[in-house]
Chain A
């Protein structure tokens, strides 16, 4: 009888534990699930709504973060759980395509202006930021902080050749 009671109690505890594990099925970010208390201190320093609307995605997700070098950035992007495997491969395909465009640009085989390549680069960075900003805000901030440094490499033929 005592065994049966113990088993019942253990069962209830385990089922309750499972219910807790199953509760976030949508993969909602911890930031979204944070209690209102966590947001309260930020309110006094928040910019007025008109200013906030003008901010880019990058500036919204970017608390001060030092720019990362390319190798570190690639490693962190590979390791993040914020993006699925197929999404990572798709992004890598698009990065490879952009690098191929730069190679063609520097070799003179295409006449695409640099401004066009810059637009493609900016779009790609925005895609990455939008994928990261909710689930891995620190990496999103690092990407945003590295944006100009990476462009500096891509837009410099000597630095690009060394990649």
Chain B
């Protein structure tokens, strides 16, 4: 029984220990990508602090300065940034 509990604990720790940092790295990469896109469009942001992903290449980015932007890829293949 103790061995089973130990096994379960290992599985949980491995999952959180490996998956969580990977997820954090992904989030940081998305935030950086969105911040770059917003600033390339000449819009103010400061820093993207949170992201809500609606679909692939479709995000709502919240900036440190309070601005919120809808960043998405439209049907014409252009990245569009709309202030919310």
Contact = CB atoms under 8 A, between A and B. Distances in A.
Interface of A: 3-4, 7, 10-11, 14-15, 18, 21-22, 25-27, 83-87, 89-91, 93-94, 127, 131
Residue with the greatest number of chain A CB neighbours at <10 A, chosen from B22, B32, B41: B32
Contact of A85 (B13, B25, B57): B57
Interface residues of A: mostly helix, strand, loop or mixed? helix
A15 B20 CA distance: 12
Interface residues of B, number: 29
Nearest to A26: B28
A89 B77 contact: yes
Contact of A86 (B2, B18, B25, B79): B79
Interface string B11-52: 001100110111011001110111011001100000000000
A130 B25 CA distance: 22
B59 to A, nearest CB: 8
